[in-house]
Amino acid sequence: MSQAVVAAGRPLAAGASQVRTPRRGRRLLASLRGRWLARLALLILLAVVASGLAAPLLAPHAPRVGNLLDSKLPPVWLSGGDARFVLGTDELGRDILSRVMYGAQVSLIVGISAVILAGAIGITLGLVAGYFRGRIDDLIMRVADIQLALPQILLAIAMLAVLGPGLQNVVLVLAITNWVTYARLVRGQVLSVREKEFIEAARCLGVGHAAIMFRHILPNVMASIIVVASFAVANTILAEAALSFLGLSVGPDVPTWGGMVAAGRDQIITGQWWIYTFPGLAIMLTVLGVNLVGDWLRDYLDPRLKV
């Protein structure tokens, strides 16, 4: 009996969302009107994604090899600049522009996948904690407290020192160090949503715990999650850059923005500022773009959320 009700409910829900989706998309786009910063941010991100994706096609040079004869050439507009290397070259004669383009790959891949993984862990644990309450809630929240007592970057450094560098390890570590935010956010919201009548109705109809959590409660907290996740992408890109800077990220062979800044650090005195400035600006612009998009999404989806 209960199965029949749920089965009957499913096409209805799907139908409802089909009607709503296009309107929602149009409203989201309409909210861009007058927000020139958000539009600028979307353009920046588009450019970063494009240069990361198209780096193998567009980059003028190979990112990992250079000629020592071309070492430390300044950008093309300075005296001594070489037209082949628009943004100059590093110590090993590698083209800065090409390396900055390739560097976008690691930042974007790590930033996005670590946030998705952290979200998956944190949302699930937050749902479980807030929905079941009691001992499991206590356990999850105490673990969260313990993790919050450790500065995130410190925990990430310690874990990467153990696991060793590598793309998967960086994603894993940044996910593990960031799940708490989602867990606490989701738990807090679940506590209020679970008392609503429609949840009680679902329970009376015999809907299972997992279905109530993921199909009935989760959509109600999704707006806040999207907003928090968008800012988390920015902070994760920053964290990855910091780890690369310390030499703990994906390994020395892969061009990363943080790694490039670290390599240029020794040139502060000797004055080859372009070696660390361009990758540093790339990080800053990308993170700025993500933050501005986050601001826009917050104002649109959940203006009362404080992030």
Partner 1 sequence: MGTYIVRRLLQSVLVLVGVTLLVYFILFQTGDPTFLSVSTDASQQEVERVRHLLGFDRPWYVQYAEFLGRAVRGDFGTSLRQGLPVTSIVLERMPATLELALSALLISLTVAVPVGIVSAARRNSLWDQASMLGAVLGQSAPTFFLGIMLLFVFGGMLNWFPIGGRGQGGPGDELRHLVLPAITLGTFSMARNARLVRSSLLETLGLEYVTVAWSKGLSEPAVVLRHAFRNALIPVVTLIGLDFGALLGGAVITETVFAWPGVGSLVVRAIGQKDFPVVVGCVTMLAVVFVAVNLLTDVLYGYLDPRVRRV
Least Å from the CB of residue 161 to partner 1? 4
From the list 71, 124, 220, 291, which residue makes contact with partner 1 (rule: CB under 8 A)?
291
Residue 255 makes CB contacts below 8 A (sequence gap 6+) with: 63, 64, 99, 102, 103, 106
Q: Is 92 in the site for partner 1 (CB under 8 A)?
A: no
Using CA atoms of 299, 198, 17, 6 in order, give the dihedral in degrees to the nearest 10: 150
In the bound state with partner 1, the residue whose beta carbon lies nearer, of 124 and 291, is 291
Query: What is the rounded distance in angstroms from the CA atom of residue 136 to the CA atom of residue 139?
Result: 5
Task: Calculate ∠ Cα 120-299-304, nearest 5°.
Answer: 80
Within its chain, how far is the Cα of 8 from the centroid?
38
Least Å from the CB of residue 101 to partner 1? 18
From the list 92, 223, 288, 301, which residue makes contact with partner 1 (rule: CB under 8 A)?
288
Which tokens is 12 given?
């209805």
From the list 174, 180, 234, 293, which residue makes contact with partner 1 (rule: CB under 8 A)?
234
In the bound state with partner 1, the residue whose beta carbon lies nearer, of 107 and 212, is 107
Q: Is 218 in the site for partner 1 (CB under 8 A)?
A: no
Q: What are phi and psi of 32, to 5 degrees?
A: -75, -20
Residues 110-169 interacting with partner 1 (rule: CB under 8 A):
142-143, 145-155, 157-159, 161-162
Structure letter (DSSP) for residue 272:
-
From the list 249, 295, 300, 302, which residue makes contact with partner 1 (rule: CB under 8 A)?
295
Q: In terms of residues, how long is the chain?
A: 307
| Residue 95: strand, helix, or coil | strand
Q: Is 306 in the site for partner 1 (CB under 8 A)?
A: yes
Q: Is 49 in the site for partner 1 (CB under 8 A)?
A: no
Structure letter (DSSP) for residue 216:
I
Query: What is the rounded distance in angstroms from the CA atom of residue 144 to the CA atom of residue 25?
Result: 35
Residue 68 makes CB contacts below 8 A (sequence gap 6+) with: 92, 93
Which tokens is 105 given?
């790959």
| Residue 77: strand, helix, or coil | coil
Least Å from the CB of residue 37 to partner 1? 8
Least Å from the CB of residue 226 to partner 1? 19
Q: Is 241 in the site for partner 1 (CB under 8 A)?
A: yes
Q: Interface mask (CB under 8 A) for partner 1, residues 247-286, using x and -?
A: -----------x--xx-xx--xx-x-x--xx--x--xxx-
Least Å from the CB of residue 194 to partner 1? 19
Give the interface with partner 1 as residue ranges (CB under 8 A): 37, 142-143, 145-155, 157-159, 161-162, 234, 238, 241-242, 245-246, 258, 261-262, 264-265, 268-269, 271, 273, 276-277, 280, 283-285, 287-288, 291-292, 295, 306
